[in-house]
Structure 1
Amino acid sequence: MAEHTQLIDAINIRTAVRAYDPDPIDDDTARQLDMTIDAVNTLAGIRIQLVRDQPAVFAGANASGHLKNAANYLAIVGPKQDDEARERAGFYAERVVLAATLRGLGTCWVGGSWDAAEAARHCRVPHGDELYLGVVIGHPENHLSRMAAPYEQLVEIQRTHRDGKTYEQFTRDMDDAARQAAPAWFRAGVEAAMKAPSALNRQPVLFSYNADDDTAAARLDPQVETGCGPNDLGIAKLHFQIGAGSGTWAWGDGGLFIHR
């Protein structure tokens, strides 16, 4: 797995990890993650923070068996009542998640499976900001054998670990002829977005391609309620951008992607 260092490789092997080994995240790994976090915080205008060794934050989830040995997390902090900031938070925090995946760490986005008040005690939440969500992070259970597993095996685990929506469902706004006419980069982007995490695994983002100006668009599906729509939109946009190979998104529900 160490030979695969591209973000698309991380997308292809990332799964939600709920069981962890108790081994701590070492200082060198933490420094590497903090370097990534500092860079994306500058771009995003939010405050992602790595918090280590706080098992009390997950005491209930660990006791119930929903999580196992969860103790570390990414705290995702940003302006209150700001959907665009929440979207940016999803986009850029998932970028940190993928960097962690390439380092052999496991992650799992959490909203309700933690003590948010306890989590807020161990990170910086300035006046006017709030703690949006968190990402559990740590060494997956039996991580040494996982690190030794072939990349192809990890890809297969990702492919089969959950039921997800089809390409046609993700592109519901398009008819069959439009799908056939769409360029390869669009399909690659959607297929990468199909592997993105989302609240309650509801995958609430729809993609479409406009041949007239060679752009893609992403919008929240009004038929799906997650409570984390802007965050899920940002995560899905990042996956799409990586899958498409190059290009940039406009923020917002219905924002356009320009491929370059």
Structure 2
Amino acid sequence: MAEHTQLIDAINIRTAVRAYDNEPIDDDTARQLEMTLQPINLLADLDIQLVRDQPKVFAEANASGHLTNAANYLAIVGPKDDDEAKERAGFYAERVVLAATLRGLGTLWVAGSWDRAEAAKHCRVTGAQELYLAVVVGHPKDHLAYQSKSYDELCEIQRAHRPSKSYEQFTALMSDEAREAAPAWFKAGVEAAMKAPSAMNRQPVTFTYNAADDTAAAHIDPAAGDEHWALNDLGIAKLHFQIGAGQGQWAWGDGGLFIHK
């Protein structure tokens, strides 16, 4: 339960950070992140890697002002042409993102604000693998002031950070009556998913509850126009939902079921 509470805290304060302090990630913090990565990669059958001090990967975005001082990233590497692996990548890489958040680091999922070819030079990608996406990671701008803020202040920053789709939009396939009758764990799961990042910030996932067997399902919303990254975003949203709902487990895939335990 302690870990669950911590992950809920991370969800409640995580924001997309675009501006970073020009300060490297120290070796101790890097070791802590690597210790998080090792078991997650084994569990997920992925090869997520922390790459430090490579500002060339974000040179164009830094020069344009879209990003500031971005230099470190999580390289999300997995099997080629494997849809389930892309979903697992979103689920498990977001777990690393939440761990980084709890250590006071800022993060940003990037789909287009990086040089993929340059990034591939600094991480391991075998012939049977591909580099899916990256997550910028580093100390947020003015990070000492950031770290001095209370949990409630950080929650308020998250709440006001960007607009999110509404609960009704996230449950668009349900009737008003079904939404009202859904159990508290389902509502808490959706509320956590509403705070999930997505690669193009389109939040292309919806959820439904089936009272007949007490399960939830997650669906890719084709109207969101994010087909290229939708599986990754589905994995991210599923993780947030699972943390919010508490005990339970997802089946992979579009339409996969969540069994609440």
Sort the TM-score into its range (normalised by shorter chain).
over 0.9
**Amino acid of the residue matched to residue 243 of structure 2?**
I
- State the Cα RMSD in Å: 1.0
Name 1:85's counterpart in structure 2.
Answer: 85
Name 1:233's counterpart in structure 2.
Answer: 234
Rounded to whole Å, the distance in 1 between the matches of 2:53 and 2:211 is 50
Shift of 1:224: 1.3
Rounded to whole Å, the distance in 2 between the matches of 1:120 and 1:200 is 21
Name 1:256's counterpart in structure 2.
Answer: 257
Name 1:16's counterpart in structure 2.
Answer: 16
Contact 1:189 1:241 in 2 (8 A): yes
TM-score by length of 2: 0.97
Shift of 1:82: 1.0
Name 2:42's counterpart in structure 1.
Answer: 42
Shift of 1:5: 6.7
More displaced 10-residue stretch of structure 1: 117-126 or 5-14: 5-14
Structure 2's unaligned 5+ residue stretches are none
**Amino acid of the residue matched to residue 230 of structure 1?**
L
Name 1:219's counterpart in structure 2.
Answer: 219
Matched, 1:62 2:62: yes
TM-score by length of 1: 0.97
Q: Which runs of 4+ in 1 moved over 4 A?
A: none
Contact 1:24 1:53 in 2 (8 A): yes
More displaced 10-residue stretch of structure 1: 217-226 or 136-145: 217-226
| Aligned-partner SS, 1:9 | helix
Shift of 1:200: 2.0
Rounded to whole Å, the distance in 2 between the matches of 1:83 and 1:13 is 30
Name 2:27's counterpart in structure 1.
Answer: 27
Name 1:242's counterpart in structure 2.
Answer: 243
Write the deviation string for residues 5-30 of structure 1: whole angstroms up to 9, x where unpaired.
Answer: 70000000000000000111011110
- Aligned pair count? 257
Rounded to whole Å, the distance in 1 between the matches of 2:119 and 2:87 is 21
Structure 1's unaligned 5+ residue stretches are none
Q: Percent identity?
A: 75
Matched, 1:129 2:129: yes
Contact 2:111 2:200 in 1 (8 A): no
Name 2:96's counterpart in structure 1.
Answer: 96
| Aligned-partner SS, 1:201 | coil
| Aligned-partner SS, 1:223 | helix
Contact 2:80 2:128 in 1 (8 A): yes
Shift of 1:187: 0.2
Contact 2:49 2:76 in 1 (8 A): yes
Matched, 1:177 2:177: yes
Name 1:118's counterpart in structure 2.
Answer: 118
Write the deviation string for residues 204-259 of structure 1: whole angstroms up to 9, x where unpaired.
Answer: 00000000000000010021111200000000000000000110000000000001
Name 2:159's counterpart in structure 1.
Answer: 159
